[in-house]
Structure 1
């Protein structure tokens, strides 16, 4: 049974656009190689951090919404920890209410883009 997860990770701001896309692709492939399915992916861009981390005050934020077996989460988080481009990450299992909220949020974002 596939569980629904959401992962937010922050990449260091000194990356070029190509390096950032390469890092995002690396984490996406960890999910898909372990039998996962990407539901949604968002790049929130360069944002100011709430507090400095590793002497950096900004970072590239990314959000993954995906379904995967629970044992694959350990592999994904290990990939986050080993990659020096990742400043912070958070992965959590979504319950049915969080999944419904996420779907509603995606729908409203899609409607705003169409206007």
Structure 2
């Protein structure tokens, strides 16, 4: 007769107690090899840049508390969501790349879950075996500097575009004023011609 329930006995107990000691679904990491993770989160669009910065700093503090290392941030900006989330159609996307043994992830996700300004979040394993940590740090610093440079260039382009738009709007107002003056002159000429014809 075959047993109907789960296996029992000393092997079952030993396996479950070892798993409980490491946590559910945990695997042993030989030699303390670090993994690279991407933590993507979407913030409500009306949150100010200072608020977004405060949220990012809170996540960095959690990483530091768990001896994990931030590599770099990616700010994807405000984008349209694939579907409406809590009556929001847009969100401010941020991606945090970091090195960790994985123990920090539950705390990051718990913090994101408790923050009402975060609409959605997702943690993804980007690289399972980061063997050259120093090279990855250097890449992270270079990517962060490149991101800052692109952001500065974009700010300059946006400022130039805003100045150009303001200049065009002023030119259109001046042209409209000139057209109104010409129309007034035409009306006066027509009135004068009508008066002369009436005499």
Deviations 1:45-89 (A, max 9, x none): 111111110010011100111001211111111111011111000
In the alignment, is residue 47 of structure 1 matched against residue 79 of structure 2? yes
Is the helix fraction higher in 1 or 2?
Answer: 2
Match of 1:93 in 2: 125
**TM-score under structure 1 length normalisation:** 0.80
Q: In 1, Cα distance between the equivalents of 2:86 and 2:100? A: 31
The 5 A counterparts of 1:12-91 are 12-91=44-123
Q: How many matched pairs?
A: 107
**How big is the alpha-carbon RMSD for the aligned residues of Structure 1 and Structure 2?**
2.6
Give unpaired runs (5+ residues) of structure 1: 98-102
**TM-score under structure 2 length normalisation:** 0.48
Find the residue that maps to 2:73 and give its secondary structure. strand
Find the residue that maps to 1:70 and give its secondary structure. coil
Q: Decide whether the 8 Å contact of 1:35 with 1:69 is kept in 2.
A: no
Find the residue that maps to 2:89 and give its secondary structure. strand
Q: In 2, Cα distance between the equivalents of 1:31 and 1:13? A: 25
Match of 2:183 in 1: none
Find the residue that maps to 1:71 and give its secondary structure. coil
Q: Decide whether the 8 Å contact of 1:9 with 1:63 is kept in 2.
A: yes
In the alignment, is residue 4 of structure 1 matched against residue 36 of structure 2? yes
Give unpaired runs (5+ residues) of structure 2: 1-31, 130-138, 151-199
